[in-house]
């Protein structure tokens, strides 16, 4: 049996392929027949350009239906799909291309001039473009090609995608996700969340990470259903379309922003079956306010780039605020101390997971991969957690100072390296602080070298030049020296406590 993800998803497409798969914000319709044909033509073009099974295809484009078809085209021919956050700057993209060595890069038309020399220096053979208006060379060169490409045979453990996750040392790691990883998680979530034949998903998430691409899109494909497809979060459009939807997946910021709009009422949500939240912790206050306003209880779940989804609050049963629910049916979870000793109920330690959803390892980092797994196969997530007496999992903190801002993972070390390279900076400490809109916001605490005359905006502008906007500090403060413990380690906990109200004033 072909274990290719596309083969497993397409076996559940509707018998009538004229049924709508995607409806865009301007009411343009794409059928399942369009999906098959357009992805087939793109797959044909890539094959003609020499892309073969196992080759990487790096993609940094805006959200569009054609970007979804490009993803499916890669899967169909066994290429490894490598999505890149559209906010990444040239220096970041240069690292990814040099590390992954893709055969093909697809970028935005406006980025072609900047990306082409970067790709060339990384040894990439071809650069194509794809825009949001059905434009770019990818579509131009593929529109007249034969779409009949079928679906290449793949083994379950063949790598289907690589997603880069920032490293605490500043070097990003490419998480290799197999066809089995993605298919098993989709099948489990589809069943667990009770997808129905007529479900319609309201989709406003980006499609360069697990949540918007693998969880949301793959679940709809397995359901043979329809997506109301927004290029980004737009409260006006969300409220307009919600009466036509039954399921929504979002980050906590989506829910907090909807709750600030007086037009967001129980009546608007009356046909909704399920609201799902993830990618960042959902505040209990938001959970309660949403329930009171709409009569709906948000279902919070927990996942990560390396594993897709691990736990979920129940569809039927108590969805407990402040928890991420129970392990998925085919996933084992446990809490352990630093030495790997298993802890009991309500004891706090590091969460470890095992299951068919857990990734193959980090691209070209065998030693790093080995260090992240226990001998019995459990993956060490790095998230601090406890499991209560009823079996609900609580994520109570994050190891290694990870910041989650607006649903995006931000690793302080990467920003600190950037700030420390600025002339006149002595050292820096980057922390995440509570923010009413983003959940957490990035703040940099900086010391000056030799009384250098630095200012906050100068630091912000320098970081913005090299890193994606979601990593840029929202605030910079200057100190004569950073607080340290007796071992000389910077006490970020002290900084977080000192400045905890910086964004809540």
SS3 sequence, 100-147? HCCCEEEECHHHHHHHHHHHHHCCCCEEEECCCCCCCHHHHHHCCCCC
Cα–Cα distance measured from residue 474 to residue 208, given in angstroms and rounded to the nearest whole number: 23
pLDDT score at 12: 98
- Positions in the chain short of pLDDT 70: 166-170, 398-400, 486-488, 505
Give the model confidence (pLDDT) of 250-278 as tens digits: 998 899 999 999 999 999 999 999 999 99
pLDDT score at 392: 98
CA 288 vs. chain centroid, Å, equals: 25
What global pTM score does this model have? 0.88
Q: Which two tokens stand for residue 318?
A: 């108590």
pLDDT score at 485: 76
pLDDT score at 488: 67
Q: What is the CA radius of gyration of the chain?
A: 23
Cα–Cα distance measured from residue 323 to residue 382, given in angstroms and rounded to the nearest whole number: 17
Q: Which of 141, 172, 5, 173 is nearest to 80 (CA)?
A: 5
Contact indicator for 186, 356 with CB cutoff of 8 Å? no
Cα–Cα distance measured from residue 319 to residue 300, given in angstroms and rounded to the nearest whole number: 8
Q: Which two tokens stand for residue 64?
A: 């569009």
Cα–Cα distance measured from residue 60 to residue 131, given in angstroms and rounded to the nearest whole number: 10
pLDDT score at 400: 62
């Amino acid at each position: 049996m072909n274990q290719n993800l596309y083969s497993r998803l397409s076996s559940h497409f509707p018998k009538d392929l004229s049924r709508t798969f995607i409806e865009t914000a301007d009411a343009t319709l794409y059928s399942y027949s369009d999906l098959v044909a357009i992805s087939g033509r793109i797959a044909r073009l890539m094959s003609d350009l020499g892309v073969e099974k196992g080759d990487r295809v790096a993609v940094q484009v805006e959200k569009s239906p054609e970007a979804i078809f490009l993803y499916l085209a890669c899967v169909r021919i066994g290429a490894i799909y490598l999505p890149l956050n559209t906010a990444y700057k040239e220096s970041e993209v240069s690292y990814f291309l040099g590390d992954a060595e893709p055969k093909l890069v697809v970028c935005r038309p406006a980025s072609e001039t900047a990306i082409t020399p970067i790709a060339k220096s990384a040894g990439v053979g071809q650069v194509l473009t794809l825009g949001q208006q059905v434009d770019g060379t990818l579509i131009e060169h593929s529109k007249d090609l034969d779409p009949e490409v079928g679906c290449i045979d793949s083994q379950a453990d063949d790598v289907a995608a690589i997603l880069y996750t920032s490293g605490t040392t500043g070097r990003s790691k490419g998480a290799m996700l197999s066809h089995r990883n993605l298919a098993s998680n989709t099948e489990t979530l589809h069943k667990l969340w009770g997808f129905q034949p007529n479900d319609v998903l309201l989709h406003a998430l980006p499609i360069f990470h697990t949540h918007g691409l693998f969880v949301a899109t793959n679940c709809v494909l397995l359901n043979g259903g329809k997506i109301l497809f927004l290029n980004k979060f737009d409260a006006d459009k969300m409220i307009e379309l919600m009466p036509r939807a039954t399921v929504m997946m979002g980050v906590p910021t989506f829910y907090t922003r909807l709750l600030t709009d007086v037009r967001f009422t129980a009546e608007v949500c009356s046909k909704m079956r399920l609201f799902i939240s993830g990618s960042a912790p959902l505040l209990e206050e938001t959970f309660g306010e949403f329930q009171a306003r709409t009569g709906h209880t948000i279902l919070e779940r927990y996942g990560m780039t390396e594993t897709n989804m691990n736990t979920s609050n129940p569809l039927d049963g108590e969805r407990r605020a402040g928890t991420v629910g129970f392990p998925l049916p085919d996933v084992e979870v446990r809490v352990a101390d630093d030495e790997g000793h298993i802890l009991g109920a309500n004891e706090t330690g590091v969460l470890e997971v095992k299951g068919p959803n857990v990734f193959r390892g980090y691209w070209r980092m065998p030693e790093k991969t080995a260090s992240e797994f226990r001998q019995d196969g459990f993956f060490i997530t790095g998230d601090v957690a406890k499991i209560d007496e009823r079996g609900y999992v609580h994520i109570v903190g994050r190891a290694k100072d990870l910041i989650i801002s607006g649903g995006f993972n931000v690793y302080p070390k990467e920003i600190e390296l950037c700030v420390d390279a600025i002339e006149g900076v002595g050292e820096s400490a980057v922390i995440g602080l509570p923010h009413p809109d983003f959940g957490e916001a990035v703040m940099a605490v900086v010391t000056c070298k030799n009384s250098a005359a630095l200012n906050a905006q100068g630091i912000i502008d320098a970081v913005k030049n090299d890193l994606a906007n979601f990593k840029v500090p929202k605030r910079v403060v200057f100190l004569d020296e950073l607080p340290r413990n007796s071992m000389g380690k910077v006490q970020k906990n002290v900084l977080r406590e000192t400045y905890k109200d910086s964004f809540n004033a």
